[in-house]
């Protein structure tokens, strides 16, 4: 009667195994230390993410970006300015013949490296089962794109039994 659901479902343990100084969860906290939080400070808004999407699709010019994301020009201007300041985009002058100089927004290396995040989000969004939608496929073979979790040595980390260990960066700073 207690824990009726106990053995019925496979015990969904933590995906990330904690070892070493991280084993005792009462003695550390990820808040403020987490790289996810750092990332979200830059691209944590819907407008930032869908502007990046539009840039991956090849959008460059201001009014086109605003129109195709459905954002108002005010929001688009503010967010683009922030993305440039944060180094994801570069504002670059261009000039069509017989036109005045204008500016376009192009991805920097940092911006281009966000691609796996977008792909991962798309892949997960597909799981939600809403119909319609746009899907990315590999240009070479035509089959859909996704992301795979791997370690630096190339070992693929399977999802159901993903295990990991936490480390700080090299400089031995103490945990908060």
Our finding on whether 45 is near DNA (CB under 7 A) is: yes
H/E stretch holding 37 reads helix 35-43
Our finding on whether 29 is near DNA (CB under 7 A) is: no
Our finding on whether 46 is near DNA (CB under 7 A) is: yes
* Token pair belonging to 69: 């994301």
Which one of residues 25, 38, 81, 92 is an interface residue with DNA (CB under 7 A)? 81
Number of residues that bind DNA (CB under 7 A): 26
Our finding on whether 33 is near DNA (CB under 7 A) is: no
H/E stretch holding 53 reads helix 46-56
Q: Which is nearer to DNA, 9 or 31 (CB)?
A: 31
Site for its own copies in 127-146 (CB under 8 A): 127-128, 130-146
SS3 state at 84: helix
Which one of residues 20, 98, 129, 160 is an interface residue with DNA (CB under 7 A)? 98
Are 43 and 115 contacting, i.e. CB atoms less than 8 angstroms apart?
A: no
Per DSSP, 24 falls in state S
Name the residue with tokens 């504002």: 91
* Token pair belonging to 136: 């990315």
Q: Kindly state the smallest distance separating residue 31's Cβ from DNA, in Å.
A: 9
Our finding on whether 76 is near its own copies (CB under 8 A) is: no
Our finding on whether 42 is near its own copies (CB under 8 A) is: yes
Are 55 and 107 contacting, i.e. CB atoms less than 8 angstroms apart?
A: yes
Contacts of 143 (CB under 8 A, 6+ apart): 137
Our finding on whether 38 is near DNA (CB under 7 A) is: no
Instruction: Give contact residues for DNA (rule: CB under 7 A).
Output: 44-48, 61-64, 70-75, 77-79, 81, 98-104
């Amino acid at each position: 009667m207690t824990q009726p659901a106990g053995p019925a479902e496979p015990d969904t343990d933590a995906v990330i195994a904690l070892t070493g100084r991280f084993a005792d969860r009462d003695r550390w906290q990820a808040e403020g230390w987490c790289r996810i939080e750092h990332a979200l400070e830059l691209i944590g808004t819907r407008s930032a993410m869908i502007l990046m999407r539009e840039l991956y699709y090849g959008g460059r010019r201001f009014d086109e970006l605003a129109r195709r994301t459905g954002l108002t020009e005010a929001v688009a201007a503010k967010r683009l300015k922030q993305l440039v300041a944060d180094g994801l985009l570069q504002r670059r002058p261009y000039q069509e013949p017989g036109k005045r100089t204008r500016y376009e927004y192009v991805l920097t290396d940092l911006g281009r490296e966000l691609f796996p995040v977008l792909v991962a989000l798309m892949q997960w969004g597909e799981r939600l089962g809403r119909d319609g939608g746009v899907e990315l496929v590999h240009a070479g073979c035509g089959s859909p794109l996704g992301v795979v979790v791997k370690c630096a040595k190339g070992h693929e980390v399977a999802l159901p039994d993903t295990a990991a260990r936490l480390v700080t960066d090299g400089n031995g700073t103490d945990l908060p």
